[in-house]
Amino acid sequence: MGGVIAAVDDLFFGAKILETAQRLNVPLALVRSPEELAEKARATHPALVIFDLNAEGCRPVEAIRQVKANPDLQGTIALGFFSHVQHELKTAAAEAGCDRILARSAFTAQLPDILRPYATT
């Protein structure tokens, strides 16, 4: 297993995640659809998949279910971030199997610490 995939369709957050990953030397792929996620996951067997739970194009709840149902991705951690006022979205992501769910502000503040364990030397 290696690297990180981020299912994000917001250009600002995608750029922020990519920039942080590059600074920390973390292999990262950005995807914008469940199909693209499945393709990248098959190719890289990521250690972590980050889901923007508000990314409608990524269909995050469905994508989380797919990742968690795939036996090849059993050890992959699913981390979601969301707008703190959308409690039903948080609940749906948790029910789909998301391992860790953060408010968008907490995700932004903790992003370097979230990515650091996946850095390559």
Read off the pLDDT of each residue in 33-40 and give the average, rounded to a whole number: 91
Looking at domain 4-118, its CATH superfamily turns out to be Response regulator (3.40.50.2300)
**Side chain identity at 20, as an amino acid letter?**
T
* Whether the model pTM is above 0.75: yes
**10 vs 52, residue with greater confidence:** 52
Domain spans, the chain: 4-118
Cβ(70)–Cβ(92) below 8 Å: no
∠ at Cα 9 (79, 39), nearest 5°? 70
Cα–Cα distance measured from residue 119 to residue 54, given in angstroms and rounded to the nearest whole number = 26
Cα–Cα distance measured from residue 112 to residue 20, given in angstroms and rounded to the nearest whole number = 6
Q: What is the pLDDT of residues 59-106, one digit of tens each?
A: 999 999 999 999 989 899 999 999 877 889 999 999 999 999 999 999
